[in-house]
Amino acid sequence: MNSQAPPLAIVVKCWPRLSETFVAQELAALERRGHCFQIWSLRHPANQKRHPLHDQVTAAIHYLPEYLHQEVARVLRGWRACRRLSGYAAAWQIFKSDLRRDLTRNRVRRFGQACVMAAELPQSVNAVYAHFLHTPASVARYAAIMRGIPWSYSAHAKDIWTAPDWELHEKLDADRHGASFGVTCTAIGARHLRSLCRSDDRIDLVYHGLDLSRFPAPPDRQPRNASAVLKLLSVGRLVEKKGYDRLIAALSLLPENVAWQLTHIGGGALKDALQQQAIASQVADRIDWLGEREQPDVVQAMRDADVFILPSRIAADGDRDGLPNVLMEAASQKLPIIATSVSAIPEFLQHDVHALLADDSAEALAAAMVELAQQPSKRVAMAEAAYQRLVDDFGMDAGIKVLDRRLRALCGGSGV
């Protein structure tokens, strides 16, 4: 654990979280550049699984009360201490304004968590940085205002597209105790946030990229016989925006002359419903649901597969992917990709060059799978092109340099 008094506090939804390797990758890279920080997590992990990447991060971890009633004494202690802070009155007024427009327990919980955080932060902390612009940024904002220090954020996907505009406007407005700067990981997200912000130079486009040093060299993929069983792989949470209901429907449309087997890695609330759909569609016997897995297992599954498929789409509430890191991970192993043209996916993959980008329909997904099943040479060529695209344009270092500079300025030059 890093014992140096940290100038920076980083707020995350949950630490560690298997589905957010991009957060762990960034924090490990910042530590290698000399940054010293603490991690403040809004939730405890649901299980004990962790990626090797999480073990590279040496920062101290602090867990805020996940539910206020679970640590009443700690919350009251924090609230009493915060009332003596010079910024408490301003934070209280902003919270009351937020609560009038969002009268939910979640809003109250975030203010209570912020009181605990503001009270317990070491005096050395002079800046706060939040991953995700919705609830983590709310806690970061309230706590920073109470302590009279600047805050910033990294925005990703759901937090951009499902948060109400009034909340985004105010979090981006420097005159209303908004963020000093923000970064976001897609061009489409950056354009949307800049449309809500009066100063474009306070929002940077920072692709997560991929730290290729964490991955083995890709296997030597040779075209396989078109009649061989097509080993499909998908990695993603079982939630609406990942489109797995469409994928199951597509699999049921595949002709008898296409032999296939699908492996899925990931957990999620729709698991039971999707498994029942697979049974009803008479494809359940060819789908292996592996649940959550640590990254070495995911990488090995990618090396063993023939095609990676991710049928992302826009959910009913507006939630959508940004640029899923798992697509870059698949490209790192020269695994041919089928995806959809949703959100920022086309920023990385060009249709028919790096991948097949299908429409959001079962018929389109099925047609893409048939095409790659019947054209093994095309699979290899597209995978080679996607790998080169990753190496040339989506490495991690460029984005980390931007964030490094921003965070050092945020901490007043004391970012190490």
CA-nearest of 315, 309, 325 to 364 is: 309
The Cα 195–Cα 247 span in angstroms is 34
In the block, residue with structure tokens 């078109």: 226
178 and 265 belong to one structural domain: no
- What is the reported pLDDT for 4? 62
Does 302 fall in a domain? yes
Angle between helices 88-101 and 105-120 (to 10 degrees): 160
- What is the reported pLDDT for 1? 43
- What is the CATH number for 95? 3.40.50.2000
Does 369 fall in a domain? yes
Contact (Cβ atoms closer than 8 angstroms) between residue 85 and residue 148: yes
99 and 122 belong to one structural domain: yes
Strand partners, 273: none
168 and 237 belong to one structural domain: no
- What is the reported pLDDT for 227? 82
Does 415 fall in a domain? no
Does 324 fall in a domain? yes
271 and 155 belong to one structural domain: no
221 and 328 belong to one structural domain: yes
The Cα 262–Cα 289 span in angstroms is 9
- What is the reported pLDDT for 2? 47
93 and 184 belong to one structural domain: yes
| CA 254 and chain centroid, separation | 32
- What is the reported pLDDT for 201? 81
Q: Is 106 exposed, middle or buried (0-12, 13-18, 19+ CB in 10 A)?
A: exposed
Stretches where the chain sits below pLDDT 50 are 1-2, 414-415
Angle between helices 135-147 and 88-101 (to 10 degrees): 150
- Side by side, the strands of the sheet bearing 337-340 are 287-289, 260-265, 230-235, 307-310, 337-340, 356-358
259 and 311 belong to one structural domain: yes
- At 220, the amino acid letter reads D
Contact (Cβ atoms closer than 8 angstroms) between residue 130 and residue 153: yes
- What is the reported pLDDT for 334? 98
- What is the reported pLDDT for 415? 46
CA-nearest of 59, 69, 76, 47 to 11 is: 59
Does 1 fall in a domain? no
Sign of CA dihedral 359, 352, 387, 375: positive
Strand partners, 287: 262
243 and 345 belong to one structural domain: yes
Does 185 fall in a domain? yes
Tell me which residue range forms the domain holding 241.
213-393
254 and 204 belong to one structural domain: no
123 and 238 belong to one structural domain: no
The Cα 334–Cα 324 span in angstroms is 16
Structure tokens at 245: 């209901």
Contact (Cβ atoms closer than 8 angstroms) between residue 367 and residue 358: yes
179 and 30 belong to one structural domain: yes
Does 416 fall in a domain? no
Strand locations in 214-368, DSSP E?
230-235, 260-265, 287-289, 307-310, 337-340, 356-358
Q: How many domains does the chain have?
A: 2
Does 150 fall in a domain? yes
- What is the reported pLDDT for 198? 72
68 and 182 belong to one structural domain: yes
- What is the reported pLDDT for 365? 98
Report the b/e string of 271-309 with b at 16+ CB within 10 A: beebbebbeebebeeebebeebbebeebbebbeebbbbb
